[in-house]
Structure 1
C-alpha cells in the first residue's frame, strides 16, 4: 500500500456560506509536522486530523465566535440606535404633518368663509338688482300715462279752427314733454338691460364661488379626517400609490391665486353692482323730477294760455255787450225814426195839397213866390 501525505483541512464557515459571503481562511498556525508513512499505520491515519489540528480548529472556532459575537453586539447597538432615530424622525415628521394639516385646515376655513361671505353678498346684490329691475319696469309703465295725455292734447289741439290754430307756448311745452318722455323711456330700457346683464354676471360669479367653495368643503373634510388619523386608528391602510405626484396637482401659490382671482372677480361684480344701484336710484330720482318739472311747466303754460283765453273771452263778451247795447239803441232809433217818418205824413199831405192847389192858379198868378218855396 502506498503511503499518503496528510494535510490540514481549510476552515469552513457555514454562516458565511449561508449569507453568501466569502469564506474566511483558517488562521495560520505553526507548521505541523508531516505525518509519517508506514505500512502499519496507513489504514488508521488515512483522512483523520491530528490533535494539534483539532486544537487549532477549536481555537479558530472560538476566535470566530468571539468576532461574530462582537459584530452581532455592534449590529444590535446600531439597530437600536437606528430604530430610535427612525422612530423619533417618524414621530417628528408625523407631528409636523399633523401641524401642517391643522394650519391647512385653518387656511381652507378662512378662504371658505371668505367665499361664503361673498356668495351671500352676491346673492343680496342680485336680489337688490331684481328689485331695481321691477322698479324700472314699473317706472317705464308709469311713463305711458303722461305720454298718452300729452299726445292726446296735441291731437286735440290740431282740431282748433281759424286763428286759434296757433303754435303757442302750450304746444311747444307739450312737444318738449313728449320728447322728454321718449328719451326717458329709452334710458329706462337701456338701464334695465344693464341691470339684467349685471344680474347675469353676478350669478356667474356666484356659481364660480360656489364651485370653489364646494371643492374646499370636500378638501376640508378630507384633511380633517386625515388629521384625525393616528397610529392607533383602525381605519388606516396602505396606499402605495398615494405618495406619487400627480400631473394635475397644483402648488400652493397657484391654489391661493385661483381663489383670490375668484374673490377679485366677485369683488369687481359687487362694486359694479353698487355703482349700478346708485346710478339707477339717481336715474329714477332725476327722471321723476324732470317729468314733474315738465308737467309743472306744461300746467303753467296751460294756465297762462287759459288766462289769456279767458281775458280775451271777457273782452269779447264786453264788446259783445256793448255792441248788443248799441244794436238795441239803434233799433230804438230806427223805431223813433220810423215814427217820425210816420208823423211827417200829415204835414207832407198838407204841403203837397197846397202845392197842388197853387199849381192850379191861372196865368200870371202861377208864380214862384215865397209861399211856393
Structure 2
C-alpha cells in the first residue's frame, strides 16, 4: 500500500535583507518508479529536491549575512550610543559641577556679605554700648550739680533780712537747677533710644547670623556635592530626589531674601551710627551748657560777694564814723550839761540882787538902769538856759539816734558777714566739687 507523505516547512519571518523563500512541496513516493522502491515500502520519507536544498542553503547564507550585518550595526550603534551617553553624562556632570561651583561662589559671596554685616553690626553695637555707658555716666554725673544747686538755694534761704533777696545769684541757681533737670530728662530719653537701637541691632544681627548659618550649611552641602564624581564610593541611588520640593525658593526670591536682610541690617547700622553722632553732640552740648551755667553762677557769686564785701566795708566805715560821732556827741552833751550848770551861779546872783533890791524902802524902790539891767540879765540867763536845755535835748536825741544807728550798722555788718559766710564758705566751697567737663561728657 502506497503511503502519501507531504512536508510543509513552518512559516518564517523573512528578514529585510533576504530573498523571498519559496515553499517546496515534498514529492509523493508512489508508483513503481519511486526511489525507495519496495524496500522502503511502509516508511515515511521527507527529502528535499536538490534545487530546494540549494535554495535553502542560499537562504541560510543570506540570513546569516543579514543577521551578522544587523548585529554589527547594532554593536556599532551600541558603542556609538554608549560613547554618546558617556560623553553626554560627562558633559552633564561637568556642567552640573560648574553650576554647583557657581552656586558655591554665589553662596560664598552672600555668606561673606552676611558675615561682614554681622561683624559690622557687632562692632556698631559695641560702639553704641560704649556711648550708652557714657550717657549713663553723664546722667550719674548730673546728680552732683543738682545737689550742689539745691544745697546752695537751701543755704541761701538761711540769709537774714535785709540780705534775703532774690538776687542774680538766686536767679542763676534756679536757672541751673532747671537746666540740670531738663538735661537729665534729655539724657534719659537718649538712653532709651540707645537701648531700643541696641535691641534692633541685636535682632538684625541674629537674623543675619541665622541666614549666615543656613548659607554655611548649604555651602558645606554644595561643597560635598561638588566633590562627587562617577568614581565616588559614597554615592548611591535616591530615586525620588529629582522631584522639586514645594517649599523650595527661586534664585530671585533666594537673593531677594538675603538682600532684604542686608538692607535692613545696614539701615539699622546707619541709624545706630547716626544715633552715636547724636549722642556725641548731646553729651558735648550738655557738658558745655552745664559748665557755662556753672561759670555764670560762680561769676554771680563772685559779684555778689564783692557787693557784700563792699557794703560791709562801707558799713564798717560808717560804724567807725558813727562811733566817733557818738563820742563827740557824748562830749557835747557833757559840755551842754556843764554849760547849763555854769549858768546857775550867774542866775542866782542876778536873782539874789533883784530880790535884795526889791526890799529897798519907799521911793528908793526905783526902776533905775541897774534894775532894768538885772531884769534883762535874768531874762537873758533864762533864755540861755532854755536854749542850752533845748540843745541838750537835741544832743541827747542825736546821741540816741547815733546809738540806734550804731546798733543797726553792727547788725547789718553781722548780716553781711553771715551772708558772705554762706556764699563763700558754704556755697562756693561746695561748688568747688562741681564735676569736670570730662565727667559731664561721660568719659569718667
How far apart, CA to CA, are the structure 2 residues paired with 1:324 and 1:225?
111
Instruction: Return the offset for 1:190.
Output: 0.6
Q: Secondary structure of the residue that 2:22 maps to in structure 1?
A: coil
Deviation per CA, 1:283-320, whole angstroms, max 9, x where unpaired?
10011101111111222222222222223333232222
Deviation per CA, 1:332-360, whole angstroms, max 9, x where unpaired?
11111222223333333323332332233
How far apart, CA to CA, are the structure 2 residues paired with 1:162 and 1:368?
69
Instruction: Return the offset for 1:128.
Output: 1.1
Relative to structure 1, is the Cα distance of residues 262 and 365 closer, same or farther in structure 2, using a 3 angstrom cutoff? same
How far apart, CA to CA, are the structure 2 residues paired with 1:153 and 1:359?
84
1:50 to 28, 48, 51: 48
Q: Is the 8 A contact 1:8 1:49 kept in 2?
A: no
Instruction: Return the offset for 1:38.
Output: 5.4
Residue segments in structure 2 that go unaligned for 5+ positions in a row:
33-37, 376-444
Tell whether 2:350 aligns with 1:358.
Answer: no
Name 2:431's counterpart in structure 1.
none
Tell whether 2:199 aligns with 1:200.
Answer: yes
Name 1:19's counterpart in structure 2.
none
How far apart, CA to CA, are the structure 2 residues paired with 1:30 and 1:288?
124
1:35 to 24, 28, 31: 28
What is the TM-score when the length of structure 2 is the normalising length? 0.75
Q: What pairs up with 1:331-346 in 2 under 5 angstroms?
A: 331-346=330-345
Q: Is the 8 A contact 2:125 2:201 kept in 1?
A: yes
Relative to structure 1, is the Cα distance of residues 33 and 222 closer, same or farther in structure 2, using a 3 angstrom cutoff? closer
Instruction: Return the offset for 1:105.
Output: 2.1
How far apart, CA to CA, are the structure 2 residues paired with 1:153 and 1:365?
92
Q: Is the 8 A contact 2:18 2:62 kept in 1?
A: no
- Which is further off, 266-275 or 227-236? 227-236
- If asked which structure has higher relative contact order (CA below 8 Å, sep 6+), I would say 2
Instruction: Return the offset for 1:34.
Output: 5.2
Name 1:9's counterpart in structure 2.
9
Q: Secondary structure of the residue that 2:65 maps to in structure 1?
A: helix
Residue segments in structure 1 that go unaligned for 5+ positions in a row:
17-21
Instruction: Return the offset for 1:55.
Output: 4.6
Tell whether 2:85 aligns with 1:93.
Answer: no
Name 2:441's counterpart in structure 1.
none
How far apart, CA to CA, are the structure 1 residues paired with 2:171 and 2:345?
71
Tell whether 2:131 aligns with 1:138.
Answer: no
Q: What pairs up with 1:175-254 in 2 under 5 angstroms?
A: 175-254=174-253
- Which is further off, 337-346 or 2-11? 2-11
- Which is further off, 162-171 or 196-205? 162-171
What is the TM-score when the length of structure 1 is the normalising length? 0.88
Corresponding pairs, count: 364
RMSD: 2.7
Name 2:293's counterpart in structure 1.
294
Q: Is the 8 A contact 2:2 2:42 kept in 1?
A: no
Instruction: Return the offset for 1:121.
Output: 1.3
Q: Is the 8 A contact 2:6 2:25 kept in 1?
A: no
Q: Is the 8 A contact 1:10 1:26 kept in 2?
A: no
- Which is further off, 35-44 or 190-199? 35-44
Name 1:68's counterpart in structure 2.
67
Q: Secondary structure of the residue that 1:124 maps to in structure 2?
A: helix
Q: Secondary structure of the residue that 1:44 maps to in structure 2?
A: coil
Q: Secondary structure of the residue that 2:42 maps to in structure 1?
A: helix
